[in-house]
Amino acid sequence: EAGVVQSPRYKIIEKKQPVAFWCNPISGHNTLYWYLQNLGQGPELLIRYENEEAVDDSQLPKDRFSAERLKGVDSTLKIQPAELGDSAVYLCASSLSGKSYNEQFFGPGTRLTVL
Amino acid sequence: AQSVTQLDSHVSVSEGTPVLLRCNYSSSYSPSLFWYVQHPNKGLQLLLKYTSAATLVKGINGFEAEFKKSETSFHLTKPSAHMSDAAEYFCVVSERAGGTSYGKLTFGQGTILTVHP
């Protein structure tokens, strides 16, 4: 069974440019998460989807970040415009549901460098 | 509110010796607790999880953790370290928020485990 797929794995852009990350969750997983992992820290939740609905986006900086999961399967996270401080690893995860005991399966992440 | 404190940012052991990675948590509700491992350039992988069943939890690759409510701890152990155990380990708490069953994961800062030959 394929795991969570993310692309690209690495991205280097100049500040003020837009960037987008793509995630395909494990088949059948209704819940999809985007996390931000800064260097030397644990991941922090940006947004959680239940099917196509964003049910927790309280930590998403909405002035420059946006996300979508139009058909309730794959998802895109966008930053426009990117800032130097956005350099980090962006992780996607999925689970069967959002219940607390469900394991979240993580993708390998996209490492973003903003110059 | 929930939080996790990993007491050591780096742990170094010799191959074949025991591993202890320490974790304390804070939670207002009955928590679920997890340990994840992250190898370089790879995704986070679940080692084990506690969800209010047995307090001693066995995971993959010989790891285990014990939930101690009185000490609010969930330390990760392994009797004998292997070179392949070198990675970063995250203690994670998931709390049922506001009486719902939804769990938001809160990660610790991570502990980097180095294994010497």
CATH code of residue B42: 2.60.40.10
Instruction: Give pLDDT tens digits for A52-89.
Output: 999 889 899 999 999 999 888 999 999 999 999 999 99
CB distance B102–A100 less than 8 Å?
yes
Extended strands (E) in chain A? 5-7, 10-13, 19-24, 31-37, 44-50, 53-56, 65-68, 75-79, 88-95, 105-106, 110-114
Query: For position A102, what pLDDT does the model report?
Result: 74
Q: Give the per-residue pLDDT at B102.
A: 63
From the list A4, A41, A100, the residue facing B101 with the nearest CB is A100
User: Does residue A107 fall inside a structural domain?
Assistant: no
Indicate the length of chain A as a whole number: 115
- Are B109 and A106 an interchain contact pair (Cβ–Cβ within 8 Å)? no
Q: What would the pLDDT profile of B64-87 be if each residue is shown by its tens digit?
A: 999 998 999 999 999 999 999 999
Q: What is the pLDDT of residues B6-55, one digit of tens each?
A: 999 999 999 999 999 999 999 877 788 999 999 987 889 999 988 877 88
Q: Does A30 touch chain B (CB under 8 A)?
A: no
Count of domains for chain A: 1
Instruction: Output the pLDDT for position B83.
Output: 96
Residue A114 lies in a domain: no
Residue B85: strand, helix, or coil: helix
Report the largest interatomic distance among the alpha carbons of chain B, rounded to a whole angstrom: 48
Is A111 among the domain residues? no
Task: Give me Rg for the CA atoms of chain A.
Answer: 13
Transcribe A71-101 into DSSP letters: TSS-EEEEESS--GGG-EEEEEEEESSSBTT
Q: Which two tokens stand for residue A76?
A: 């895109």
CATH code assigned at A95: 2.60.40.10
